[in-house]
Structure 1
């Protein structure tokens, strides 16, 4: 098995010479003068591994994710413990600048082998499970687990991600997402609400937040650079205090043309960090599931719908919202078919919103269920949310939740039941108190 490698950095001469003299499976095919040249070589399919001996600070999670998509792993050389920790956070193998050629070659082979096992469809010839690198295990110290043996293991979050999705046509995704977050907070859960709609972010407007900072974009930017930790996430998330509880919000992008700031790899890191600080992460996702704009063979351009797709892929529960009328129901049926193709195994929980007799006739819930059972997809309807423009308009006008502005309405009760939260008596609780999630405070 041969592993073609490209290198960049001032110390590349010693590295290249040492790797070439080994006559092992690692072969240096290009010495690059700068990182841009190295990236171009990787994108062209020239290499399966890249050694960055200088300029590791320019590596980002999105770049690493993009090169991994074309079968390239990155090994960066640095003596800085902080930089090694940052690199590990974005998926880069780090090694000392003084690493010996044999150990470096073994580390390259191991990294390529691990990537091959996780991405069988993109294997290089011979780079399959069980391959032999041809070296002794001299590079064991370079593996990420051993490289930081003295540091604490990375925490694994246990928070649950609830993605609220629905087809085009304003079925009420944001209404459901915001009030689901509020109901969970009313139960005393720690909640983070994320506005990941890259077309029409509206959570800040619904909650009456005068915030133009685009908290999710800030979090993604820090995540892309490997700088997003628990404290940084809490700093960029806006606290929202209601009469019955407090939750935090990562507000959406302020203009639709800022969608490039919500890259898939960075968003995945944001959600991973969110699992560490919140019991529930409620994501208001966009409607579009198309992925045709990804041309991985010749470009590193971001995907227009990456935020929506990655949110749905990582969600523990997908709540699919559709409008209960002759236009909204067929849209939802078609959308669920698209969802199954885009995110196999999503198993969405279907919610029909704006249920009213004036749109579907007498006994609307019965008629909708019968029609759904006859023509709909395999997913059953989990909940019906009644049409109540008076309650929703009052909440929107005051920038509040239904549990505050219309606590006794059937709509509020239906949303509370949707997340298994009994209708609460109004009480104040801080879900980011000192007793929540490892003692972090808001």
Structure 2
């Protein structure tokens, strides 16, 4: 197999000469003077591999992802241990600057094999996917206080739903709080690129956009568990403590949440938390159809990548004549946008005043008749009093309204201890604050 290679860097003369004298499968087709020229050559389909012989410190995760999107593997020459570690964090193979040409050729072949999926090493975990359509072509915070240690194999829960304020953020922050109260190490991530609101709902005076900070470090290849712990804000509640990566402070900052960087952030998050709860945006639009530049930043990359990597997806819909049809259409869009997602349907704001008597039964019958094959996992009752009390105080339901029907219903979604006591209906007349049929 012939592997055309482009190179960049001061050492390229010796490098190119050594590779050419091998007369092997690796052949240098272009010598570039800078990374932008190398990127342009790769996007033109000139090469299958790129060797960065100098200036590897200019490599960022977003650039690496753009090269992978056009099928180009990367090998960088570096001898500084810190730089080698940084490159490895981005999935870039490295070799010493004085590497033997035969060894370098083998390294290039290995990188190409890994990118094409024929290699045996799972180095490229942050590969381009649905959220990157181009794939188809220290002020230390107090870390120990009250936060349970993580197991290192964290599970990702994404809370998603269609437009129209079905209650995604309310459900997400209270899932995080309930899991923390169960003794789990929890990280709450606000990945809504249109209207981030986790910080406001929790009463956090935060203008730093923690997720954007983490993505910035990830893009530079220097994000580690300690840095992520420093960036995340600790939220202390009566039930337990969890951490939060706050969202972007303005919608026009969406370009800071790139798919490649977010993948690294979520991968690192698994190391510091037992459960990562993501408040995802609503839009699944394949916006590559609106642009010829298939490697440009994607407005919906944060939402799509979160859903791709999630172990569990809760699809939240408002239980009314407008919200239910929206959810049905959105689930169809989700199936096409993220085929591997298996959402759990949750109907929120359930109330007899807009559904009629026995609202749970009527919603089930309507869903079975007109909805998709997915079953309804849970009903969350409308509880304006509890929600308003929590919003006014910037607190969770378990603090502001611990005995509310809504709080108990959200807890039943994720807490096994509560699930064991599940009532037959969220509208049981014996439950305080529940709507009677």
The question of a shared fold, defined as TM-score above 0.5 by the shorter chain, is answered with yes
Q: Summarize deviations over 1:7-31 as a string: whole Å, max 9, x none.
A: 0001000011111122211111110
Q: Does 1:212 align with 2:207?
A: yes
CA distance in 2, matches of 1:327, 1:79: 60
SS of residue in 2 equivalent to 1:293: helix
Q: SS state of the match for residue 111, structure 1?
A: helix
Deviation at 1:117, TM superposition (A): 2.3
1:345 shift after superposition: 2.5
Alignment of 1:24-173 (within 5 A): 24-117=24-117, 157-173=152-168
- 3-state DSSP class of the match of 2:117? helix
**Closer, same or farther in 2 for the Cα pair 1:403/1:156, shift >3 Å?**
closer
1:393 aligns with 2:381: no
Query: Quick one: distance in 2 between partners of 1:93 and 1:51?
Result: 10
Q: Is the contact between residue 184 and residue 421 of structure 1 (CA under 8 Å) also seen in structure 2?
A: no
Instruction: Find the counterpart in structure 2 of residue 311 from structure 1.
Output: 306
Q: Corresponding residue for 1:201? A: 196
Q: Verify the 8 A CA contact 1:183 1:421 in the aligned structure 2.
A: no
Equivalent in 353, 378, 385 of residue 383 of structure 1: 378
Q: 1:294 to 1:117 in 2, by over 3 A?
A: farther
Which deviates the most, 160-169 or 339-348?
Answer: 339-348
Aligned partners of 1:66 and 1:177: how far apart in 2? 32
Question: Which of 363, 367, 370 is the matching residue for 2:362?
Answer: 367
2:352 corresponds, among 328, 349, 357, to 357
Tell me the equivalent position of 1:15: 15
CA separation of 1:64 and 1:297: change in aligned 2, threshold 3 A: farther
User: Which residue matches 1:439?
Assistant: none
Q: 1:39 to 1:294 in 2, by over 3 A?
A: farther
Aligned equivalents of 1:408, 1:231: Cα separation in 2: 37
* Shift of residue 107, structure 1, vs aligned partner: 1.0
Residue 403 of structure 2 aligns with which residue? Answer: 408
2:288 aligned counterpart, secondary structure? coil
Output one character per residue of 1:104-139: Cα deviation in whole Å (capped at 9) or x when no partner.
1111112112212269xxxxxxxxxxxxxxxxxxxx
Aligned residue-pair number: 389
Q: 2:110 and 2:210 mapped to 1: Cα distance?
A: 37
In structure 2, C-alpha distance between the alignment counterparts of 1:108 and 1:359, rounded to whole Å: 63
User: 1:334 maps to what in 2?
Assistant: 329
Q: Which residue of structure 2 lines up, in the alignment, with residue 293 of structure 1?
A: 288
For residues 285 and 67 of structure 2, the distance between their equivalents in structure 1, rounded to whole angstroms, comes to: 21
CA separation in 2, counterparts of 1:165 and 1:298? 28
**What's 2:126 paired with?**
none
- Closer, same or farther: CA 283–37 of 1 in aligned 2, 3 Å: same
C-alpha separation in 2, matches of 1:18 and 1:93? 19
**1:428 matched to which residue of 2?**
none
Residues 7 and 28, structure 2, Cα contact 8 Å, conserved in 1 = yes
- Aligned-pair CA distance for 1:56: 0.5
Distance of aligned partners of 1:17 and 1:296 in 2 relative to their CA distance in 1, 3 Å threshold: farther
Task: Measure how far apart 1:203 and its partner are.
Answer: 0.1
After superposition, the CA RMSD in angstroms is 1.7
Equivalent-residue separation in structure 1 for 2:70 and 2:35 (angstroms): 17
- In the aligned structure 2, how far is the partner of 1:295 from the partner of 1:41? 24
Q: Which runs of 5+ in 2 are unaligned?
A: 120-149, 420-437
Structure 1 residue runs without a partner (length 5+): 120-154, 425-442
| Structure 2 match to 1:236 | 231
- 1:257 paired to 2:252: yes
| Contact kept in structure 2, 1:161 and 1:317, CA below 8 Å | yes
1: CA distance between counterparts of 2:54 and 2:292?
26
Contact 2:287–2:299 (Cα < 8 Å) also in 1: no
* TM-superposition CA deviations, 1:167-218 (whole Å, max 9, x none): 0110000000000000000111110000000000000000000000000000
Deviations 1:279-310 (A, max 9, x none): 10000000011123278974531111000000
* C-alpha separation in 1, matches of 2:382 and 2:118: 47
